[in-house]
Structure 1
Amino acid sequence: MIRKHSTTLHGHRTSFTLEDEFWQELRLIAEERKISIAALIAEIDDGRAAESNLSSALRVHVLNWFKNKSS
């Protein structure tokens, strides 16, 4: 199921939508890296291209995480 999530990035509230499976994997990535989910989302947001949206950037991060782990 796709759910809307909200967070604060650099002092501003923002929201994004993610499928439950992507949300769960982001939480596991944050746990494995020993950082908060908010810190992970902020890191991904800071690194994304200006023309991309946060939801897409989060999904791509999960995809790349698994691609790099399997290499």
Structure 2
Amino acid sequence: MIRKHSATLHGHRTSFSLEDAFWEELKAIAEARGLSQAVLISEIDDQRPPDSNLSSALRIYVLQWLKRS
């Protein structure tokens, strides 16, 4: 199921939609890296291309992480 989530990135609230499976993987990745979810999401947001949306960037990050594992 896809759900809306929100986070504060650089002092601004933003929201994004992610399927539960991607959300769970993001939590696991943050834990594995010793980061909070907010810090991980902020890091991904900072690295995404300007013409992409945050939801897509998060999904791609999870996919790339899992492919490296």
| TM-score calculated relative to the size of structure 1 | 0.96
**Matched residue type, 1:30:** A
Q: Which residue of 2 aligns with 1:28?
A: 28
Q: Which residue of 1 aligns with 2:58?
A: 58
Cα distance in 1 between the residues matched to 2:30 and 2:7 = 15
Off by >3 Å, runs of 4+ in structure 1? none
Q: Which residue of 2 aligns with 1:40?
A: 40
Cα distance in 1 between the residues matched to 2:20 and 2:43 = 20
Q: What stretches of structure 1 of length at least 5 have no aligned partner?
A: none
Q: Which residue of 1 aligns with 2:68?
A: 68
Deviation at 1:68, TM superposition (A): 1.1
Q: What stretches of structure 2 of length at least 5 have no aligned partner?
A: none
Identity across matched positions, percent: 68
Give 3-state SS (helix, strand or coil) of 1:62's partner.
Answer: helix
Deviation at 1:39, TM superposition (A): 0.3
**Matched residue type, 1:39:** V
